[in-house]
Amino acid sequence: MRIYDIIAKKRDGKNLSREEIDFFVKGYTAGEIPDYQASALAMAIFIRGMNEEETANLTLAMAHSGDVLDLSDVEGIKVDKHSTGGVGDKTSLVLGPMVAALGAPVAKMSGRGLGHTGGTIDKLESFPGFVTGISKEEFIRNVNTIKIAIAGQTGNLAPADKKLYALRDVTATVECIPLIASSIMSKKIASGADVIVLDVKTGSGAFMKKEEDALRLAEAMVKIGSNVGRKTMAVVSNMEEPLGYAVGNAIEVVEAIDTLKGQGPSDLLELCLCLGSFMVVGAGITDSVEEARNMLKKTIEDGTALEKLRQFVSAQGGDATCIDNTEQLMHAAIEYEFKAEKNGYVKQIICDEVGVSAMLLGGGRETKESEIDLNVGILLHSKVGDYVKKGDVVATFFANDEKKLNNAVKRFENAYIIDDKDIQKERLIRYIVTDEGVNKVE
């Protein structure tokens, strides 16, 4: 078999066999297939697509490209959550501790930033000393003792996805249903949780801009998970504007901490309660979604979720004192106030453009080797539907480099649209997808 022939076959729109997909995944993981051939194949898949069987084969090949964690030593039903990627999406940092505080074991593998979106692993590294590359043994020990561990794709978990993910990030091959579904589900299968809750984003800040594509992606992932015996469900949620107000890395950690202190934005809290309640029910803590929501709210009110965050950060080597002194988390030399140019309602905050602005500040990667600056970011002060007056500060930029700041601000100018007419905000939660079907949320 030759990788050249496999690339040509997909380029010509033909279906790849299981053997061909296995050949690619094994060869790429082992370093025998170079990045330039893997990017050509990723682009061919992007353009030509993959059918259900090819997507399932790619997922399983990537899931088995390294270790598959056996969490049977962990007591209870292990739950995991994953988002398809958004702007300002810090839900894992909030709902992980909330769900774990209720005793549900959260065993989560997360990724780094991808394209214009941020990643939980980069964000967690804002805590000085935090180690995302913990060993399999530590991962299992932490889930057993404190009910939560979040690991990066270090070690040998789904190494094929780790390589392909980094490659797709810089080769414009992210927004593709089979590639996203196999990337996410391979990680989820390899990291061993029994219950998988997926947050599939739709809108300008998502990889799936159209709702029908997000729904197709949700259905594809639920099917893959259910077929391998993992209880899988998905929520399709709105990503037409950033979630919450903070976009960046450390700045999002601060907003997540504020949310656990009961001072977070309502859209972020609502999404955490929705996804978290499915995790709590999945873990068998209660069988009522409504009760799970109330229990989760209580973890914020009584401080147990915040305490769980402290335990989690310390257990992975991070400095948990930052949780009580969040000013220790961000060190940006320059603050720039972006002001409204006229009176009116915020009609649109073009979400992927905001993500790109944060990247241009230095918060995302241009190449696989790029170092990111965890301290830079954007804090919005008004969201869609808010009324602003000319001269009001609508966003603060935190930067460490004048040139990068100028580029980021220029990009943001076209993203923030003010209009005379009041506008109707879009619904945050659109669909719930389970192996039994699709429920539209009215």
When asked if residue 150 is in the footprint of ligand URA (CB under 6 A), the reply is no
Q: Do residues 388 and 418 lie in contact, with contact meaning Cβ atoms separated by under 8 Å?
A: yes
297 is catalytic: no
Binding ligand URA (rule: CB under 6 A), the pick from 16, 25, 104, 114 is: 114
Q: Which of 122, 161, 169, 373 is catalytic?
A: 161
- Torsion of the alpha carbons at 223, 229, 230 and 236, rounded to the nearest 10: 10
Q: Tokens representing 46?
A: 């992007």
Q: Tokens representing 210?
A: 């159209």
When asked if residue 214 is in the footprint of ligand URA (CB under 6 A), the reply is no
When asked if residue 158 is in the footprint of ligand URA (CB under 6 A), the reply is no
Block residue for tokens 């996805």: 161
3-class SS of residue 117: strand
Binding ligand URA (rule: CB under 6 A), the pick from 63, 180, 322, 350 is: 180
When asked if residue 355 is in the footprint of ligand URA (CB under 6 A), the reply is no
Q: Which of 10, 78, 81, 82 is catalytic?
A: 82
When asked if residue 91 is in the footprint of ligand URA (CB under 6 A), the reply is no
When asked if residue 178 is in the footprint of ligand URA (CB under 6 A), the reply is no
The one-character DSSP state at 203 is S
When asked if residue 84 is in the footprint of ligand URA (CB under 6 A), the reply is yes
Closest residue to ligand URA in the complex (CB): 183
Q: Do residues 74 and 201 lie in contact, with contact meaning Cβ atoms separated by under 8 Å?
A: no
Shorter beta-carbon distance to ligand URA: residue 207 or 416:
207
Rounded Cα–Cα distance for residues 230 and 364 (Å)? 32
Shorter beta-carbon distance to ligand URA: residue 45 or 415:
45
3-class SS of residue 135: coil
Closest C-alpha among 310, 314, 300 to residue 260: 300
> Which positions ≥6 away from 364 have C-beta within 8 Å?
113, 115, 116, 118, 355, 356, 358, 370, 372
When asked if residue 38 is in the footprint of ligand URA (CB under 6 A), the reply is no
Shorter beta-carbon distance to ligand URA: residue 158 or 332:
158
126 is catalytic: no
288 is catalytic: no
Q: Do residues 340 and 394 lie in contact, with contact meaning Cβ atoms separated by under 8 Å?
A: yes
Q: Which of 78, 147, 168, 293 is catalytic?
A: 168
Q: Tokens representing 117?
A: 């979106």
When asked if residue 41 is in the footprint of ligand URA (CB under 6 A), the reply is no
48 is catalytic: no
Binding site for ligand URA (CB under 6 A): 84-85, 111, 114, 165, 174, 179-180, 183-184, 187
Catalytic residues: 82, 161, 168, 183, 187
